[in-house]
Every structure is written in C-alpha cells, then in structure tokens.
C-alpha cells in the first residue's frame, strides 16, 4: 500500500479488531435451539439465519438487541455543480432541516419503531447552529468537484473516518442503523462501485433523484471524466478521497467501529453500501456484522449487493435514502430474536416432534 494512503495507527487498530465470527460449538447450540422450536425445520426461513448471525456476532446463544441507534450522515458534493442530480444542492440542507423538525420519512419510522435518531452534519453547505438532534461534525461546506480534482484530501478522508468511528463509539446500544442525505451522493457511490469493484459505469450509475434519459446520459459522461482523471487511485483510502463524500467517509468509519464492537449493523441502501465497500476492502470480516435491509431502485445497488455477496431483506422499490429502508427492516430483525427467545420448544410445550 502506498504510504500516503495507508491507514494511520488508530484506524489500523480498529480494523485489526474486526475478525471473523466463527464458533462451531455456538453455531451448533443456536441451530439446536432453532430446530427445537415448535415449528417445522426451517419454517421461519431467513429469520432463522438472522438469529443465528446475531447470536454468533454477540457470542451468545440468547442474543438480544437493545437501544438501537439510527444515524443519518449528511453532506454536500461538489459534483452537484455538474448537474448530476434532478434537484438543486440546497435540498441537502433543506432536508436536514426537515429531519430536525420531525417531518421526514425517517422521523416517522424512527418514532414508530422506537429508534433513537441522530442527524450528523458531515459537511453540508449551510450553517445550522446548535440544534437538538444534530451533531455538528462538519469538515467543510461540501467536497470538491470530483470530475475536476480530488473530492477531498487523504487527510480529510482519514479525519472523516475517525469522526464517524468516534461518534458511533459514543452511542449506547448494540445495534445501529445507518442512513445518509446528500444531493449528488449517488454519483459518488457509483464512482466508488466502479473503481473498487470494476463494475461498468453504465451499470453503476442510476437516476438518483429522478433524472430523465438525457440527464442520466449526462451524469454518466461526468462520472466517466472523474474516473479518467484519477486512474492511479486503487487503494480504498485513495479511492475514497478521490470520489467519496464526507458522509460516505464518516459512514465507513462508523461501520468499522460498529463491527469492532460487535454491534449489529443494518445497512440501508446504495450510499451506505458504497461506504461499506470501502470498509470491506479494509476489513473483509465487517460483513459478519452487517444485515442488508433492502435492495433499492437505484441501478447500481443490485451490482453492489452482488459484489458483496449480500442478500437484502426487502425489495420495495425504495430510493429515498435517509436510512428509511433500514428502519423498515428493523422490526423483522427484532422479531427474529424475539422468536428465538420466546417460542416454546417441542419438549417444553409437550408437542410431538418429527417422526
């Protein structure tokens, strides 16, 4: 690895703490418990796999989730100046204001499901001032235009990852749901997918907030120029600095910290998935902590999920972001553990098992 793009000691230590969660004896205990519940073998389908995954992550046969935290990282992107979004850049700060006022979809879902919501200003081109529910972690008023120059310096990328990790480490609970907000961030996500996993740009690039055919063609052309500008960027930190957003970098740090602490991570859509691409390249075992909430309608998300070998819980045609898909998937994840804990066994219920 180029020393200019090597992880500093603190982040390298975080990465080193993320190891595969393999335990044959615990796996057997969990499977015996699941198979002994009053149901046909495998009848709860993927809910059983979720319970097994969380049990192995937590290292216990009676896994439980508590104090779930929903973090929405927001930032602006210099690429927005190239007209790669159907909406103006001001929508980023306006939507943050909407979240702080309780009017966004994520607010409704967080309230419904008892999720503690925190909005993080990672780099929005707006001054909010001290606000309840808002963490001011602004690194700058948005990134630079990645089609013309690096979106951020490597030092800024490292700073953002550290910030995301520290924010996560300061929160209670053992489950985290991750979301984002940022006009033009589907463009950054497409660039990360194309460079880190070699997905063709036309496959990685979608309509974002609703581009028409002409707008999509223009977006693809802009992103092609961005990729051509930095052909040497291949290492994950370098790629993140060239093409990422501040919110994506903070998400990458939060993902690493959550996996190191064995928190269950509900991964939202395309943008959070792009941050996970970076984290995965640094620490492949981060996937052991990740539950993929949904497959979004954004074109590149199918390819991203395939690149990570991920199977999402839901497919509802969502393309909202904000962590909305993760919030919708939360009750299914919670139910998987409630079933494991609360269902009677054949023996305890006096029900005849298989012949």
Which pLDDT score is estimated for 126? 98
pLDDT band for 1, please (50, 70, 90 cuts): very low
Which pLDDT score is estimated for 22? 80
Mean pLDDT of 73-78: 98
CB distance 298 to 269 below 8 Å: yes
Q: pLDDT for 47-73, tens place per residue?
A: 999 999 999 999 999 999 999 999 999
Class of 69-329 in CATH? alpha beta
Mean pLDDT of 328-351: 96
pLDDT band for 6, please (50, 70, 90 cuts): confident
110 contacts: CB under 8 Å, gap ≥ 6:
70, 116, 117, 327
Q: How far apart are CA 247 and CA 238, in angstroms?
A: 16
pLDDT band for 340, please (50, 70, 90 cuts): very high
Neighbours of 88 (CB within 10 A): 11
318 contacts: CB under 8 Å, gap ≥ 6:
269, 294, 296, 297, 324, 325, 328
Mean pLDDT of 293-297: 97
* Long-range contacts formed by 329-335: CB under 8 A, 24+ apart: 329/266, 329/291, 329/293, 329/294, 330/68, 330/113, 330/115, 330/177, 330/266, 331/113, 332/47, 332/50, 333/50, 333/54, 333/65, 333/175, 333/264, 333/266, 333/291, 334/65, 335/47
The residue from 97, 242, 322, 347 that is catalytic is: 322
Q: pLDDT for 7-44, tens place per residue?
A: 999 999 999 999 988 899 999 999 999 999 999 999 99
Which pLDDT score is estimated for 354? 77
What do you get for the CA distance between the two ends of the chain, in Å?
58
Mean pLDDT of 323-327: 98
Mean pLDDT of 82-103: 97
Q: How many helices (H) and strands (E) does the chain have?
A: 15, 6
Q: How far apart are CA 73 and CA 354, in angstroms?
A: 49
Which pLDDT score is estimated for 2? 55
Using alpha carbons, select from 79, 5, 49, 59 the residue that is nearest to residue 263: 59
Which pLDDT score is estimated for 212? 96
Q: Is 322 a catalytic residue?
A: yes
Q: What is the mean pLDDT of the chain?
A: 96
- Helical H segments across the chain, by residue range: 9-16, 24-35, 46-58, 90-100, 105-113, 154-169, 185-197, 201-204, 213-229, 236-243, 246-260, 270-282, 299-308, 324-342, 346-349
Q: Which token pair is 206?
A: 């979608």
**Best CATH choice for the domain 7-64+339-349 from the list 1.10.357.10, 3.50.50.60, 1.10.1610.10, 3.40.50.150:** 1.10.1610.10
Which pLDDT score is estimated for 3? 47
Domains in the chain: boundaries: 7-64+339-349, 69-329
Mean pLDDT of 303-323: 96
Q: pLDDT for 202-225, tens place per residue?
A: 999 999 989 999 999 999 999 999
Neighbours of 200 (CB within 10 A): 10
Mean pLDDT of 264-276: 98
Using alpha carbons, select from 266, 290, 280 the residue that is nearest to residue 178: 266
Q: pLDDT for 136-163, tens place per residue?
A: 999 999 999 999 999 999 999 999 999 9
Q: How far apart are CA 339 and CA 44, in angstroms?
A: 9
């Amino acid at each position: 690895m180029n020393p200019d793009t090597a992880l500093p000691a603190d982040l390298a230590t975080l990465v080193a703490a993320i190891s595969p969660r393999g335990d044959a004896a615990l796996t057997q205990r969990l499977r015996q418990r699941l198979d002994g519940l009053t149901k046909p073998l495998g009848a709860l389908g993927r809910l059983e796999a979720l319970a097994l995954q969380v049990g192995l992550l937590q290292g216990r046969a009676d896994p439980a989730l508590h104090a779930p935290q929903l973090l929405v990282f927001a930032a602006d992107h210099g690429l927005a100046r190239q007209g790669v979004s159907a909406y103006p850049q001001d929508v980023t700060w306006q939507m943050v204001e909407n979240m702080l006022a309780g009017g966004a979809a994520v607010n409704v879902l967080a309230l419904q499901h008892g999720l503690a919501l925190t909005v993080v200003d990672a780099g929005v081109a707006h001054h909010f001032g001290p606000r309840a529910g808002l963490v001011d972690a602004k690194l700058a008023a948005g990134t630079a235009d990645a089609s013309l120059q690096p979106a951020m310096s490597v030092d800024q990328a490292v700073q953002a990852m550290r910030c995301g990790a520290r924010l996560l480490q300061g929160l209670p609970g053992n489950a985290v749901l991750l979301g984002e907000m940022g006009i033009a961030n589907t463009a950054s996500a497409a660039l990360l997918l194309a460079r880190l996993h070699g997905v063709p740009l036309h496959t990685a690039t979608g309509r974002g907030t609703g581009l028409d055919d002409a707008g999509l063609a223009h977006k693809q052309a802009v992103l092609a120029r961005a990729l051509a500008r930095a052909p040497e960027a291949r290492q994950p930190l370098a790629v993140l600095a060239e093409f990422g957003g501040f919110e994506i970098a903070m998400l990458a740090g939060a993902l690493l910290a959550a996996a190191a602490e064995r928190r269950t991570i509900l991964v939202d859509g395309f943008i959070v998935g792009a941050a996970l691409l970076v984290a995965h390249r640094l620490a492949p075992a981060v996937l052991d902590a990740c539950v993929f909430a949904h497959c979004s309608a954004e074109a590149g998300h199918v390819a991203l999920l395939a690149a990570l070998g991920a199977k999402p819980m839901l497919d509802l045609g969502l393309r909202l972001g904000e962590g909305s898909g993760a919030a919708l998937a939360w009750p299914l994840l919670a139910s998987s553990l409630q079933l494991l804990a609360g269902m009677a066994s054949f023996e305890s219920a006096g029900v005849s098992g298989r012949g």
